Amino acid sequence: MKRLFRTGFSVALATLFLVSCSSSDDNSNNGGNGGDGGNNGNETELKGTYKKGDKLVLDGSKTYNLVGKLVIEDGATLTIPAGTKIIGTGGTSAYIAIGQGGKIFVEGTKDNPVVMTGLEKKRGSWGGLVLCGKAPINKGTSATAEVSDLTYGGADAADNSGSIRYLRIEYAGANFNSEKEFNGLSFFGVGSGTVVEYVQAHEGSDDGFEWFGGTVNTKYLVSTHNDDDQFDWTEGWTGNNEFWYSKQSGTHDKGFEADNNSKNRTATPIANPTIKNITLVAASKGEGTALKLREGTRGQFENLVLDGWKTAFDVEHDETINNVNDGSLFAKNVKFVDITTKSVGHLTNPNAEKDEKGEEVNVSSVFQEGDNNGAGNGSEAPEWTKGWTVGL
């Protein structure tokens, strides 16, 4: 669970259509300059800042080189048609960020997804995709994303940052240091008006997906071989979700890492997502943790297949264990496959300098065992992943 991104550059692009909207009419400038800079004659370079009224539309037949940060500010839009490929170069300097009030429209299809990848086919080759919205967080009325100047959070639970369908994000997660790294796709205070369906985060150097508060809902997420957690949340995220599938690679990382707020575990809104139809597969039999639940998170999980983990449910901190005891944190209909330990719980250690684990307690009530198909096909890749994903 690490944070992300930075600010400002000029825009350079290509074979993309920029439309600047005035109060009286729309002015098309196909392939021309836009945002705060020009393309310097290179029609496939992509970077810069787009402001209110700017409409950046890429060409699905092109491959673009993301050579710097691409920021879509309030009132601007980015449209990425099916088949578009974007190759990030330059590590932390290359990422795509949608600011508050900006919108992204990823229009991939099952047979022709949008692909964001790295020039080098290795983890951390480029930054990743970041969305910042105006939905509630429990870090205050608003906050600034770490290592950036972009604001997120607010009071609009239904805030709309656009729509994303059939997108594959590969080799993302460039890091500034051990505590500050990009994820594949990061949601900062993103609202429920945003549509997120059929997205894969693959071979990233940090988390596949991470939520920092907000209310955004998701369907059909695939997280594979990311170097930290496959799914991660904090700061009061409360979305409704279904059909998540993941395969792990690192033996010490987790399927879920779930927090409410590390500095105030009872901060409101309390993280409380609903997630149904989940498959989490470990990298190696008898290694890692499927669901790490801590820092006061709540959550309702239903129809889970957990395969190969050393520990299925690891519940930490008094507030989180209280949520298990009062029924606000639970998993219903869980199928265990080759699991070493089904659940462990630890109270807070009041004498620890750094929140080390305290007394071990019984948290077996966190789950109800049952038989189900998880994300759709038990431990195997479900039918809905075919045609647009890799690495399954």
Instruction: Give the residue among 138, 128, 156, 163 at the shortest CA–CA distance from 233.
Output: 138
Q: Alpha-carbon distance 174 to 130, whole Å?
A: 13
Which residues lie across from 304 on neighbouring strands?
278, 334
Give the pLDDT confidence score for residue 4 in this predicted structure: 38
Q: Alpha-carbon distance 116 to 60, whole Å?
A: 13
Rounding to the nearest 10 degrees, give the CA dihedral for residues 192, 207, 381, 167: 60
Q: Model confidence at 179, in pLDDT bands (50, 70, 90)?
A: low
Domain assignment present for residue 151? The answer is yes
Give the pLDDT confidence score for residue 352 in this predicted structure: 75
Residue 265: C-alpha distances to residues 60, 215, 301, 316 (Å): 45, 19, 20, 11
CB within 8 Å of 252: residues ≥ 6 apart: 287, 288
The one-letter amino acid code at 18 reads L
Domain assignment present for residue 371? The answer is yes
pLDDT tens for 143-153 read 988 746 799 99
Give the pLDDT confidence score for residue 92 in this predicted structure: 81
The one-letter amino acid code at 340 reads T
Give the pLDDT confidence score for residue 120 in this predicted structure: 87
Query: What tokens appear for 113 in the block?
Result: 């997804």
Give the pLDDT confidence score for residue 35 in this predicted structure: 53
Q: 23 burial class (0-12, 13-18, 19+ CB within 10 angstroms)?
A: exposed
Give the pLDDT confidence score for residue 148 in this predicted structure: 63
Query: What tokens appear for 162 in the block?
Result: 């656009």
Q: Is the pLDDT of residue 193 over 90?
A: yes
Q: Alpha-carbon distance 90 to 240, whole Å?
A: 35
Percent of the chain with pLDDT over 70: 85
Q: Model confidence at 18, in pLDDT bands (50, 70, 90)?
A: very low
Q: Model confidence at 354, in pLDDT bands (50, 70, 90)?
A: low
Give the pLDDT confidence score for residue 124 in this predicted structure: 76
Domain assignment present for residue 8? The answer is no
Q: Is the pLDDT of residue 173 over 80?
A: no
198 by DSSP, 3-state: which? strand
Give the pLDDT confidence score for residue 356 in this predicted structure: 76
Looking at 29-33, 226-230, 281-285, which range is the least confident one?
29-33
Higher pLDDT: 44 or 367? It is 367
Query: What tokens appear for 54 in the block?
Result: 């700017």
Are 174 and 124 contacting, i.e. CB atoms less than 8 angstroms apart?
A: yes
Give the pLDDT confidence score for residue 229 in this predicted structure: 85
Q: Is the pLDDT of residue 297 over 90?
A: yes
Q: Is the pLDDT of residue 13 over 50?
A: no
Domain assignment present for residue 155? The answer is yes
Q: Model confidence at 223, in pLDDT bands (50, 70, 90)?
A: very high
Q: Alpha-carbon distance 9 to 67, whole Å?
A: 10
Q: Alpha-carbon distance 1 to 206, whole Å?
A: 7
The arithmetic mean of pLDDT across residues 205-234, rounded, is 92
Q: Model confidence at 231, in pLDDT bands (50, 70, 90)?
A: very high
Percent of the chain with pLDDT over 90: 72
Strands 175-177 and 180-181: antiparallel
CB within 8 Å of 327: residues ≥ 6 apart: none
Q: Is the pLDDT of residue 6 over 70?
A: no
Domain assignment present for residue 123? The answer is yes
- Domain count along the chain: 1
pLDDT tens for 52-62 read 999 999 999 99
Looking at 2-16, 37-51, 125-139, 224-238, which range is the least confident one?
2-16
Q: Model confidence at 24, in pLDDT bands (50, 70, 90)?
A: very low
In 62-206 the beta strands, taken as DSSP E runs, fall at 63-72, 77-81, 85-88, 95-98, 103-107, 114-118, 129-132, 143-144, 151-152, 162-170, 175-177, 180-181, 185-188, 195-202
Q: Alpha-carbon distance 175 to 243, whole Å?
A: 29
Q: Mapped to the 3 state alphabet, what secondary structure does 264-304 carry?
A: CCCCCCCCCCEEEEEEEECCCCCEEEEEEECCCCCEEEEEE
Q: Does residue 269 have a cis peptide bond before it, meaning omega lies within 30 degrees of 0?
A: yes
Quickly list H helices, 122-243: none
Q: Is the pLDDT of residue 303 over 60?
A: yes
Q: Is the pLDDT of residue 214 over 90?
A: yes
- Average pLDDT over the chain, rounded to whole? 87
Domain assignment present for residue 149? The answer is yes
Q: How many Cβ atoms from other residues are within 10 Å of residue 38's Cβ?
A: 15
Domain assignment present for residue 391? The answer is no
CA atoms within 13 A on the CB side of 95: 28
Higher pLDDT: 5 or 204? It is 204
Give the pLDDT confidence score for residue 21 in this predicted structure: 32
Instruction: Give the residue among 236, 282, 235 at the shortest CA–CA distance from 256.
Output: 282
Q: Model confidence at 22, in pLDDT bands (50, 70, 90)?
A: very low
337 by DSSP, 3-state: which? strand
Domain assignment present for residue 10? The answer is no
Whole domain around residue 282: which residue ranges?
17-385
